[in-house]
Structure 1
Amino acid sequence: MVSKDTQVFISRVLGMPIVDAAGDQVGRVKDVVCFLRADGRAPRVKGLVAELFARARIFVPMVRVHDITPNQVAILGQVDTRRFKRRESEVLVAADLLDRNIQRDRPTRIEDISMTQVRNREWELGTVALRASTGVGRFGFGGRGKPEVVSWKEIPDLILSTGRTAAHLIAEFTDMKAADIAQELHDLEPESRAEVIEALDDDILAEAIEELPEDEQIELISQLDTERAADVLSEMDPDDAADLIRDLPADVAEDLLQRMEPEEQADVRRLMAYEEFTAGGMMTPEPIILDTDATVAQALAHARLESLTPALASMVFVTRPPLETPSGRYVGAVHIQRLLREPPTIMVTTLIDDNLEPLRPDTPLAQVSRFFATYNLVVAPVVNDGGHLVGAVTVDDVLDHMLPDDWRGDLMDEVDASEVSEAADV
């Protein structure tokens, strides 16, 4: 695996084969996608444009890139095979920057750009190799000087212009929490909001929508074209997507469900089969599920996944195969604190909390909230009458359903009011 702070020059990656975990080639690298960031930070590398054997081009996020060697790029996990569609805020390194002429004291062009891994699977642009013309060459043509390596900061095209443009807002959003992005979207004028939403990545937009008041969620998703709306819903947590789809007209909801990715569609339909204010209607179908032969080390490895919320990471569930919901026979649950106190080779099944009875899908909200308070939990298993784990309810799911429908709107209005008050004090 590429070590932290290792430089990789992009021209050497272009055309390189991309292989999956089995070592099979799935395509070749055609370009590198990045975006500019505010406050003097280096441009972030989002991913690779890969050309498949059918000559279709897809996007491979950098989180899927496991290793870059002199001969290949290795990826892990599944990638979206939908055709790559460039967003307005994105910069394609090869297409937009390589061989571009820049203004210096003599004619100079960009010959290469390096990218550096700054954290686990997080990459930034680093140095830029420039080559200046030396005037008249040996045969009367323009001569080539030695390459000069400079910081990305010396290249105007890699510096975000000041202001509150859509590109500037999107650059700021990359390092903001979803709730703060939602607040920004809430505060924007309709025209600016539409421009920003069009350029935002589906996953970022999905997380922000989850933090908006219900009426704004419906308004925003209704403004998107049907394909984009389905893509964004596929990126949302299944329970949040189910809640939103329930509030849409039946024909619109069914059309969106049909267009969602099959796996996400199945999760959402399963949740929509339950009443909204029950454990089944509130749960997420994607908790940590382990087989009966799993060890403490394996359990902790699953709990470390960045995609998990703190609540979901606080407990692992043990079942018989299959290990996706609805699972095989439910065996029990283990708290993260218990896992942290035990040797890594201990079997998880020896640490099960025998006093924790699971919720049933039809358990009403009032009973679920008392269950959480009684056992001091932040997550709880939901098991059906057949003894299969169908999901898990987290404390934030419970709070979302206990608070008034417009609580997010009230919170945003309070933020707006506090900003007005601060401005008046100044």
Structure 2
Amino acid sequence: MRFLLKLIFWLVILGIIAVLAIILVPAHRSRPIAQLPENYQSAEGRGQYMAIMADCAACHTGNSAQPFAGGKPIDSPFGKIYASNITPGKRYGIGNYSLEDFSAALRDGLRPDGSHLYPAMPYDSYRKLTDEDIVALYDYFMHNVQPVEQPVQKTALVFPFNQRWGIRLWNWLVLRPETGFTPPYNNAKLDRGAYIVEGPGHCGACHTPRDIIFRQKGFDASSPLYLTGSAVGGWSAPDLRGANSALAGWTDDDLKFYLTTGRNHYSSAAGPMNFAIRESLQYLKSEDIDAIVAYLQHIQTKAGPQQPVRDAGSTIAMLTKAEPSMPLGARLYLDNCGACHFVNGLGAPEVFPRLDGAAIVNAEDAAGLIYVILQGSRLPSTALRPEDLAMPGFAWRLSDEEVSELVNFLRTAWTNNAAPVTAEKVAKIRAQPYVD
């Protein structure tokens, strides 16, 4: 008993020492920007291009009339985090940041005063940004973005997540010691694709699963879990490289067309991916999209033994006959969905997305599918496909029980094979704000 009390005592003492160390020891900053050649200047437009590639506007533009002025709420598992003002305003923006301050924010999640940014800012991915690209971004934000002296709503998470000093421990556990990018393939196209996807594109932030402390399970293709699917804001971010990934069977042209238009013969973008295409991916150079495609195709896991595929014919026959004895889910499909997606569930390429075999329909978490049925969806308008085709929402028309019946029909129709959902799950999602 005495030994146990002593053990508890020393564990408490060590815990106190650890907490004090986390609070009092200065946060570590990565290496400074390398000494660039004297009179070094970024190529014209490089900084703006990098801001587009990194999709900075996705979080930091709350009002389109005030680019990068912040204020947009970012949903996290711990509450809403309000994106900061990153215009060169000197009072509320980053106008007083030095280049090293700017680099520390991007790579270490640190403000000039040493306080920590919440990891909603993907600095764990931005650590791979090259020095040259950081310099270009700094030059762009300091000299080409209009300063906006506007405060943003203060993030106020519940205890203990409002204790920013605790992020220091998270950083110690999560951040890789090295910064910058080391080309892994000795192939210019693959290395460029790896850099964009792993670094500024921060694709893993959504598409890589996270562990119990919300750390990404891998930051490059050397991890077998990297880009194998996760969830963000209630949406399912599909597996991009597993044996049964969302890209299985896609050609290079299929993938390139999806990334630049949000649609192809197999799928249509929805939720956060819709925004990424609309605001970022469609503006990337053709050669950079080609590099992304080459990298994603290169890291695909080879398919294992083929699983038996369900026969779609029984669903097609049932919907074609449309007998009064049809289950409720099938009848709801014919009444609300069949005119566009048809009895075969294949839709119309680039117009009405296919539902048979669709990643959003077969996702482990059906939240994204439920969101679309309730709130509708709109394809991004892009240069190659300016038509922003829209699907209406059915929240006004269908009850929670009806939506669950429709979802369960879709998840078992044709060749689909996914678990059912309850009306209670639909009610929970209906009560949440729509995330786009």
| TM-score, length-scaled by structure 2 | 0.24
In our comparison, the structure showing a higher alpha carbon Rg is 1
More strand by percentage: 1
